[in-house]
Amino acid sequence: MEKYTVSRLARLAGISIRTLHHYDKIGLLKPAKRAESRYRYYGKEELYRLQQILFFKELNFSLSKIQQILDDPDFDQIEALEYQRKLIEKQSDRLGKLLTTIDKTIKELKENKTMLSDEQLYEGFSKEQIEAWNKEIDEKYDPKVVAESRDNVSKMTKPEMDAIKQEQENQAKELAELMGKYTIDSEEVQAIIKRHHQTNEKFYKTSAEVYKGLGDMYVSDSRFAEFYDKYKPGLSEFLRDAMHHFADHYLE
């Protein structure tokens, strides 16, 4: 018969030596043999009994109840294993449902956490300004375009929106550098305008007509004009003309 020392059995079962000593002390798991050196040795039968102890413990049975079950003269190991399997299956189903609930909650929290609020979209502006702009947008612009834009923005994360804002700033700076050096129809200018159009399409589908209207607004709306002209005086008009050229030659 193969013999297992306390330390070997503890490693095998994933429990502490102290636990095995305790089980021995309360009579729950006695060693098969004790050597004169007082070393404890366990055999195959003890391994099976320990397995039962650990299974029942996992199922929240008390040590006293486990001992009562195992010491019953009518105890049948196979019946016990089949019973434990049924209980563990029920627990598995319950834990599976809990995991699903946890995953759904994590997903919902992540989506809500990353979804851009008006405050994040218009970071730095007052609540009153935000409300006024939203009202103006609803009154002035095509409801379909507004709805599409808001839907796309709602799906963006803050890092994604920050990247768009940075790209828009880069485009303005690059165009300001090209003003006075290149004409609106030059490859250099139109390459930036192409990026500008692609950026805008992250919000809504931008046809030639819509794109030209957007360019006109950059000049007619003082807020947009100030945004671009701060990089270089007259940039808003330069951008508008370049957008009109792009719309007439590259968009439908």
At 77-109, the pLDDT tens digits run 999 999 999 999 988 988 888 888 888 767 766
Question: To the nearest 10°, the Cα dihedral for 29, 34, 40, 45?
Answer: -40
Q: Which residue, among 187, 207, 191, has the nearest Cα to 248 in the 3D structure?
A: 207
pLDDT of residue 169: 94
DSSP labels, the chain: ---EEHHHHHHHHT--HHHHHHHHHTTSS--SEE-TT--EEE-HHHHHHHHHHHHHHHTT--HHHHHHHHT-TT--HHHHHHHHHHHHHHHHHHHHHHHHHHHHHHHHHHHHHHSPPHHHHTTTS-HHHHHHHHHHHHHHS-HHHHHHHHHHHHT--HHHHHHHHHHHHHHHHHHHHHBTTB-TTSHHHHHHHHHHHHHHTTTS---HHHHHHHHHHHHHSHHHHHHHHTTSTTHHHHHHHHHHHHHHHH--
At 116-158, the pLDDT tens digits run 566 665 665 566 766 776 777 677 778 888 788 888 887 887 7
At 57-66, the pLDDT tens digits run 999 999 999 9
Q: What mean pLDDT do residues 14-19 have?
A: 93
Ranges 32-46, 134-148, 218-232: which has the least confidence: 134-148
Angle between the 235-250 and 158-178 helix axes, to the nearest 10 degrees?
100
Residue 54: pLDDT over 70: yes
Residue 35: pLDDT over 80: no
pLDDT of residue 194: 95
Q: What mean pLDDT do residues 164-169 have?
A: 93
pLDDT of residue 122: 62
State how far the Cα of 91 lies from the Cα of 60, in Å rounded to an integer: 11
Q: What confidence category does residue 39 fall into, taking pLDDT thresholds of 50, 70 and 90?
A: confident
- 236 versus 136: the higher-pLDDT residue is 236
- For residue 34, give both structure tokens: 């004790």
State how far the Cα of 68 lies from the Cα of 53, in Å rounded to an integer: 11
Q: Give the chain's domains with CATH numbers.
A: 4-75 (1.10.1660.10), 117-156 (no CATH), 157-252 (1.10.490.50)
pLDDT of residue 113: 55
What average pLDDT does the chain have?
87
State how far the Cα of 71 lies from the Cα of 74, in Å rounded to an integer: 8
Q: What percent of the chain has pLDDT over 90?
A: 55
Residue 115: pLDDT over 60: no
- For residue 229, give both structure tokens: 């002209």
Q: What confidence category does residue 192 fall into, taking pLDDT thresholds of 50, 70 and 90?
A: very high
